[in-house]
Amino acid sequence: MRPLLAYVFSALCAASQAIATGQPPAPAGREAARPNIVLIYADDIGYGDLSCYGAKKVATPNIDRLAAQGLRFTDAHSVASVCTPSRYSLLTGKYAFRQPGTGIASGVEGLLVDPARTTLPSMLKGSGYATGIVGKWHLGLGVKPTDYNGKIRPGPNDVGFEYAWIMPATGDRVPCVWVENDRVVNLDPTDPIKLDYRVKRGEPRSFVNGVPRIGEQTGGEAALWDDENISTVVAQKSNAFMERHQAGPFFLEVSTHNIHVPRVPNPRFIGKSDCGVRGDAIVELDWIVGEVLGKLEALGLADNTLVMFSSDNGGVLDDNGPDKVHGVGDPDGSNGHGPNGVLRGQKGTVWEGGTRVPMIARWPGHVRRGVSDALVSQVDLLASLAALTGESIPAGEAPDSENQLAALMGVDSTGRRSLVEQRNADLFGFRQGMWKLFPAVGRGKGGEARLYNLADDLGETNDLAADQPGRVKEMTDRFNQIVGDSVVQKSPRRRGAGK
d(CA 176, CA 178): 7
Encode burial over 364-394: b for 16+ CB neighbours within 10 A, e otherwise. Answer: bbbbbbeebebbbbbbbbbbbbbbbbbbebe
Report how far apart, in Å, the C-alpha atoms of 226 and of each of 174, 230, 290, 291, 313 are: 13, 6, 22, 20, 25
Helix (H, G, I), strand (E, B) or coil at 163: strand
d(CA 234, CA 236): 6
Whether 138 is catalytic is: yes
d(CA 114, CA 160): 11
Nearest to 129 by CA among 63, 47, 35, 200: 35
d(CA 434, CA 263): 35
Instruction: Tell which phi-psi region holds residue 135, choosing left (phi > 0), alpha (psi between -120 and 50) or beta.
Output: left
Nearest to 266 by CA among 253, 240, 285, 238: 285
**How do strand 71-77 and strand 356-362 relate by DSSP bridges?**
antiparallel
Whether 245 is catalytic is: no
Q: How far is CA 471 from the centre of its chain?
A: 31
The DSSP result for 394-451, as a single string, is: -TTSSTT----HHHHTTS-SSB-SEEEEESSSS-EEEEETTEEEEPPTTTSSSS--EE
Nearest to 384 by CA among 47, 23, 73: 73
Exactly one of 13, 52, 77, 138 is catalytic; which is it?
138
Nearest to 412 by CA among 454, 444, 384, 453: 384
Helix (H, G, I), strand (E, B) or coil at 90: helix
Exactly one of 83, 245, 257, 337 is catalytic; which is it?
83
* Cis amide leading into 168 (omega within 30): no
Catalytic site positions: 83, 138
